[in-house]
Amino acid sequence: MRSRSPRGSSTRTSRLTSRLHGPLLFAVAVVLIPLAAFYVIEAFIAPNPQVRIALRSLPVLPVAIWTLWFENSRPLERRGRVIRATGRILLLVLVMAFAVAILGIGLNWLYDPTRVI
């Protein structure tokens, strides 16, 4: 990767790293990793099948929202305001339906075919 400063300049091109790595690393290791492990375990062993389906499909929602509304190459960008909003909502519903079908119902059937829903 090339430097952005002009040739011969002694200006630094990057900032010094902050000292927050210690507390941030500690928070990730102590809080977020066990919480994520509990979430994944519950997504596969919760007694209620609807809860399992929801827990497995829920992580798709933020990615779908980011892709449809905030990504640089957003779909339907050249259309009118109403068509753009309606299309994005429809695409979001379709993505979530696909996630529920594959991650929710499909995995439910694979892991416990006697009680799919």
The whole-angstrom distance between residue 98's C-alpha and the CA centroid of its chain comes to: 15
Question: What is the arithmetic mean of pLDDT over 97-107?
Answer: 87
Percent above pLDDT 70 for the chain: 78
Domain residue ranges of the chain, discontinuous segments joined by +: 21-115
Predicted confidence at residue 93, as pLDDT, reads: 94
Q: How far apart are CA 92 and CA 98, in angstroms?
A: 10
Q: How far apart are CA 37 and CA 62, in angstroms?
A: 19
More confident residue, 5 or 32: 32
Question: What is the arithmetic mean of pLDDT over 61-86?
Answer: 83
Q: What is the DSSP letter of 66?
A: I
**Dihedral over alpha carbons 51, 54, 58, 59 (to 10 degrees):** 70
More confident residue, 97 or 23: 97
Which 3 state secondary structure label does DSSP give 98? helix
Highest mean pLDDT out of 2-6, 12-16, 76-80 = 76-80
pLDDT beyond 70 at 111: yes
Question: What is the arithmetic mean of pLDDT over 65-93?
Answer: 84
Predicted confidence at residue 27, as pLDDT, reads: 77
Predicted confidence at residue 61, as pLDDT, reads: 92
What is the CA angle 87-83-54, rounded to 5?
A: 25
